[in-house]
Amino acid sequence: MHIVRDDLMLIRDHPQRSIKALPSIYLRAQWFDSGKGRFAFMPHWRLLLEYWRAVRRSPLTGVTRLRARVCVGRSVFACWTWARLLMDFLVAIEPRTWVVHHNAQQWYRAVRNWLRPPALPHGHGKGSQ
């Protein structure tokens, strides 16, 4: 078992944070790439590969390792991951298609937030009297 100190779990949220300054995963991959990475233009494939490697490096028993690999494999079919993997190929063929990907993500988030029910004021939730 690995113990992670609480102070390492704090999120430093500021406008210059790379995820805010570079809103597309393709821009962030380009920013992080030192010119040596083979997966610079395929960031979703890179994440999948790193998850697979993390399972391999973890001190797990055989059955637990197998279950973890199945989970990584199943993640390809969850939350539109397969579409992101496909998008990586399209961006590799035509680099400007990341703009379409980014605009589609922004549209999806806007619709999702619009459809989400408004939050109840504090103390008016379930179980409060």
| Average pLDDT value for residue range 25-37 | 70
**Residue 39: pLDDT band by 50, 70, 90 thresholds?**
very low
Would you state the structure tokens that stand for residue 37, as one six-digit string? 């990475």
pLDDT in tens, 75-90: 988 888 888 898 888 8
Phi-psi region of 127 (alpha: psi -120 to 50; beta: other; left: phi over 0): left
Mean pLDDT over the full length of the chain:
80
Q: Where are the domains of the chain?
A: 15-114
Higher-pLDDT residue of 121, 6: 6
Rg (CA), the chain: 19
Burial (CB count within 10 angstroms: exposed 0-12, middle 13-18, buried 19+), residue 69: middle
Does the model's pTM come out above 0.85? Answer: no
Q: Three-class SS of residue 125?
A: coil
pLDDT band at 110 (very low <50, low <70, confident <90, very high): confident
